[in-house]
Amino acid sequence: MRLLRALVCSVALALVATGTAWAQAVAGSQLSGVVRDTSGGAIPGAEVTVAKTDTGMTRTVFTGADGAYALPNLPVGPYELKVVLQGFNTYVRSGIVLQVGSSPELNVTLSVGAISEQVTVTANASLVETKNTGVGQVIDNQRVMELPLNGRQATELIFLSGLATSAPAGDLNTNKNFPTVTISVAGGQANGITYIMDGGTHNDPFNNLNLPTPFPDALQEFKVETSALPARYGHHAASAVNLVTKSGSNEVHGDAFEFLRNYRFNARNFFAPERDSLNRNQFGGTLGAPIVKNKLFLFGGYQGRVEHSNPATTISFVPTQAMLNGDFTAIASPACNGGRQLSLTGGFVNNRIDPSRLSPVALNFMQHVPVSGDPCGRLQYGIPNNSTEHQALGKVDYTITANQSFFARYFYAVYDNPATYDGSNVLTLSRTGQNNQVHSIVAGHNFVLSASTLNSLHATFNRTLNDRPLPPYFSATDLGARVSSLVPGYVGVNVTGNGFSVGSGATNPGYFNSKGWQIADDLDIVRGSHQFSIGGNWIHSNIATLNNRPTNGAFTFNGQGTGLSLADFMLGVVSGGFLQGNPVYDYDYNDYVGAYAQDTWRVRSNLSLNVGLRWEPFLPVKNSFSWVSHFDQTLFDQNVHSKAYPQAPAGLMFPGDDGYPGDATTFGKIAQFVPRVGIVWTPSGDERTSARASWGVFYDTPHLFFNTRFANNPPWGAQITISNPPGGFGDPYLGYPGGNPFPALNAGWATQPFPAFGVYVNTPLHLEPTSLQQWNLSVQRVFGDWLTSASYLGNHSSHLWRATELNPAVFGPGATTGNTNTRRSLYLENPQQGQFYGTIGQLDDTGRANYE
């Protein structure tokens, strides 16, 4: 029922939106050219009309003194061109197909004759690019629909552009966002792509990756563009992906589909012991129709996906009954260690441990894990990984008058991948569940102010809800450990090597939600041989997060205590360290502003110059709670303390202190202007050959997820790391200065003591945004129905952000993991103040990269 309501709401919202004042221009294309007589002379004053043959929409302009015409911002689709002037035959050209983001040139020759006489030309060949100076490729509807897609994910088609390759996901694409792919275009960063859908922003501000794209039956086409794009492009530096969804037309059209992938129909992989067990069912349909012919059109679509598979075999190593009785002779034998005999260190004879020395907490933990019958502790089990996804899209297009058009589109997607726990094997909780929802609303308005002036206004709202649920099981407190369980029902335990893992890392419950609003306006003015474009773009984004990653404590056992990780676990020797921190609630926001001015100048009939300037200030991310800080080495050396947080150690500054940039982590940069220059040459003066070259500078906008890490800093996150705590699994804070600091570290931020060896992230107060210089040379030629392209492009990236350690541990005689913090540089310089600093992850902006 929820999906049925979503589909109904998507259509209803689009219908209701036709009465609102919001507006947005459809991501479209441009058609231009020159009208001449048979002698080659320019013909001014000719009436040029284009008609979109599937909806009846028309637009009319008149040629200038040089015979040139331009029709900017036309919706994609099929067109007919008509040119009329008294004393000449009427010229009609049909079969024109305009693709997203394209600007072809179509020149016309009129012959002397009666206006009633008509010359008709059918042209279904591809048209070369004659205005845009970037390098790109359109993935048209035929390829979207007919090319095989694993899982019917249209973003996979981006790789067809020839400039795209898979990029490492890192921490960008995790269970904190809607499932997607990470792509690098022309050597750019994986989160450096500007995604635009129906003219509105379609980036997730959380990580700057794309929001989900509609299923192929609802997607008309898209274009991948990169390298020195015109000045109207900004926000992200590497490239732009411009998507257009389908619309209704004068003809009723649609489809119904079901795609089934069932392992019963699959052959066994030659190298696999058995066939895969995947069972994926994708089903749905679309419908487009006229509500009022030539006036009002409706399109809607839905796709569902249900995916099941038998759990893959997961292998862990757990204590056997012998180990639970203190006997580790089997697991230490050559049979379990690749032919090597191991001996437990720590004074244990014959690899046996007195059962009275085993940790009660570890024994209680093992009551929730099946006991292995394998002498080496090998345990095989399956972790269910079933998922569902549903998408609904509704769109309305409305031709208000011959000079005004409006549309509204709503897109909804939900993905659910639950974590399961049957109460018998807690090891199946090595991952959280994932529930993601995306709502995307775009509305737009085109207004032809005169035959030579067009304004396009658009507004967008995107919302993502990313929940990371986890079925509650038990906490360390429930097992008998003397720790504070700030969130009921889970604990992190990681036994490295031949061991197991539960609830550690990114497997703890939380949510990562974001919103984004956009308003943008573009004005195109044709004056003689010049086409001027000016516009602006404002995007406000925010994220609200709850991260419980180390809230109840994370215990790591790595074998450094006895030589065997499982023996360390059973003894409660937390040899790999203990980590705990506050639940981290955070709310960050950012405003992006961009404005541009651009002139496309027809210098000669076969030569155009594109010159533009873009203003893109660097506006840093801000925190609504003022939970940001900065460590200053100079102030640490001078023993200067914060006025806003008097208990803070020397060198740590906060909002309210002198010289601090408000609620941000760095100062902004307002005066950021970047040039774009391009040239287009059509040697033969027709639309069959073009040569283009361009150069430009671009700035990138950082994602919001990075700033959420500041909320982990003390005193808010108060994340504490203890290497090999002497109290072990049962009492990790034994001997810690001041004892267990939780839950006291949950309140009274400004007056509470700071923890010893706290973990911090830090940025310079004057941080440079990432920038790219891009250049290219491209040649296009039409041969019959074939469009061929050859391109060279390169770029240079500056001020790439990367992480360094500001407080490293100095290696020397007697160095061990147990004294890591007392070997750190700040502690060695000033033990009294340095004892409050553990690792400090410093953001560095000196990275560089080159691509050709």
Q: What CATH number has the domain bearing residue 46? A: 2.60.40.1120
18: confidence class by pLDDT, cuts 50, 70, 90:
very low
In angstroms, the CA 175 to CA 160 distance is 27
Give a yes or no: residue 416 inside a domain.
no
Domain finish residue from 122, 152, 177:
122
When pLDDT is cut at 50, 70 and 90, the band that residue 103 belongs to is confident
Residue 591's pLDDT is 95
* Domain-ending residue, one of 98, 122, 146: 122
**Angle value at C-alpha 613, between 775 and 517, nearest 5 degrees:** 100
Question: Which pLDDT tens digit goes with each residue over 276-290?
Answer: 777 889 999 999 999
3-state secondary structure of 437: strand
Average pLDDT over residues 145-160: 84
User: Residue 666: which of 601, 614, 619, 730 has the closest Cα?
Assistant: 619
Residue at token pair 């897109």: 411
Q: Which of 646 and 175 is assigned the larger pLDDT?
A: 646
In this structure, which amino acid lies at residue 39? S
**Amino acid letter, 370:** P
Domain annotation covers residue 106: yes
Percentage of residues of the chain with pLDDT beyond 90:
48
Dist. CA 143–CA 156, nearest whole Å: 12
Task: Give me the mean pLDDT over the 224-248 stretch.
Answer: 90
Out of 422-436, 450-464, 501-515, pick the least confident. Answer: 501-515
In a domain, 773, yes or no: yes
- With 80 as the cut, is the pLDDT of residue 252 above it? yes
- The answer as to whether 529 is a domain residue is no
* Exposure on the CB side of residue 359, measured as CA atoms within 13 A: 27
* DSSP secondary structure of 41-59: -B-TT-EEEEEETTT--EE
β-pairing, 164-166 with 183-185? antiparallel
Looking at per-residue confidence, does 11 or 666 come out higher?
666
Confidence of residue 462 (pLDDT cuts 50, 70, 90): very high
Q: Which of 229, 154, 148 is nearest to 188 (CA)?
A: 229
Listed range (58-62, 141-145, 256-260, 402-406) with the worst mean pLDDT:
141-145
pLDDT band of 123, cuts 50, 70, 90? low
Q: Cα separation of 354 and 429, whole Å?
A: 31
**Confidence class for position 5, pLDDT limits 50, 70, 90:** very low
Q: How far apart are CA 467 and CA 437, in angstroms?
A: 9
- Is the confidence at residue 264, as pLDDT, over 80? no
Strands (DSSP E) contained in 99-232 are 108-110, 118-122, 135-139, 164-166, 183-185, 193-197, 200-201, 219-226
How does residue 347 score in pLDDT terms, banded at 50, 70 and 90?
A: confident
Please state, as a whole number, how many other Cβ atoms lie within 10 Å of the Cβ of residue 334: 10
Q: What is the pTM of this model?
A: 0.86
State the residue range of the domain holding 637. 584-851
- Reply yes or no on whether the pLDDT at 380 is more than 60: yes
In this model, does residue 196 exceed pLDDT 90?
Answer: yes
Q: Which of 88, 122, 156 is the last residue of a domain?
A: 122
550 vs 243, higher pLDDT: 243
The pLDDT of residue 22 is 28
Write down the pLDDT at residue 10: 41
Residue 270 has pLDDT above 80, yes or no: no
- Has residue 713 been placed in a domain? yes
The kind and range of the H/E element at 789 are strand 786-805
Is residue 680 in some structural domain? yes
Distance of alpha carbon 33 from alpha carbon 42, whole angstroms: 11
Query: To which H or E segment does residue 458 belong?
Result: strand 453-468
pLDDT higher than threshold 90 for residue 745:
no
Residue 15 pLDDT grade (very low, low, confident, very high; cuts 50, 70, 90): very low
Across residues 464-474, what is the average pLDDT? Answer: 86
Calculate Rg over the CA atoms of the chain. 32
What is the per-residue pLDDT across 780-837, written as a single tens digit (0 to 9) for each?
888 877 888 888 989 999 998 888 999 999 988 988 887 888 899 999 999 999 999 9
Q: What is the pLDDT of residue 20?
A: 29
Residue 246 has a pLDDT of 92
Instruction: Supply the pLDDT for residue 301.
Output: 96
Arithmetic mean of pLDDT, 92-97: 88
Q: Please write the tens of the pLDDT for every residue from 508-528.
A: 778 889 999 999 999 999 888
Nearest Cα to 285, choosing from 302, 304, 299? 302
pLDDT at 507: 55
Average pLDDT in the chain: 87
pLDDT-based confidence at residue 9 (cuts at 50, 70, 90): very low
Contact 419, 433 (CB under 8 A): yes
pLDDT over 50 (residue 106): yes
Q: What is the pLDDT of residue 385?
A: 82
pLDDT at 19: 32
Half-sphere exposure of 156 (CA within 13 A, CB side): 14
Residues 793/798/803/807 CA torsion (nearest 10 deg): 150
pLDDT at 138 (0 to 100): 84
Predicted confidence (pLDDT) at residue 594 exceeds the cutoff of 50 = yes
Beta bridge partners of 137: 224
Q: What pLDDT does residue 2 have?
A: 46
pLDDT digits (tens, 9 = 90+) for 675-730: 999 999 988 766 788 899 999 999 999 888 888 888 888 888 777 888 889 999 99
Count the Cβ atoms, other than its own, within 10 Å of residue 5: 12
Q: What is the pLDDT of residues 829-846, one digit of tens each?
A: 999 999 999 999 998 989
Tens digits of per-residue pLDDT, 492-510? Answer: 899 998 899 887 555 577 8
Mean pLDDT of 138-151: 83
pLDDT score at 633: 95
Is the distance from CB of 248 to CB of 288 less than 8 angstroms?
yes
Nearest to 362 by CA among 734, 729, 727: 729
CA distance 823 to 80: 76
Helix ranges (H only) for 309-425 are 321-324, 360-366
| CA–CA separation, 433 and 175 (whole Å) | 8
Give the Cα separation of 498 and 268 in Å (integer): 30
Lowest mean pLDDT among 380-389, 458-467, 536-545: 380-389
Confidence of residue 14 (pLDDT cuts 50, 70, 90): very low
Angle at 621 between CA 444 and CA 707, to 5 degrees: 120
Q: How many structural domains is the chain composed of?
A: 2
User: Which of 218-222, 241-245, 687-691 has the least mean pLDDT?
Assistant: 687-691
Q: Tell me what the mean pLDDT of segment 172-177 comes to.
A: 70
Is residue 189 in some structural domain?
no
pLDDT at 551: 82
Domain presence at residue 764:
yes
Q: Which residue has the higher pLDDT, 143 or 319?
A: 319
> Is pLDDT above 60 for 538?
yes
List the helix and strand counts (H, then E) for the chain: 10, 42
Looking at residues 720-743, what average pLDDT do you find? 88
Look at residue 706 in the predicted model and tell me its pLDDT: 84
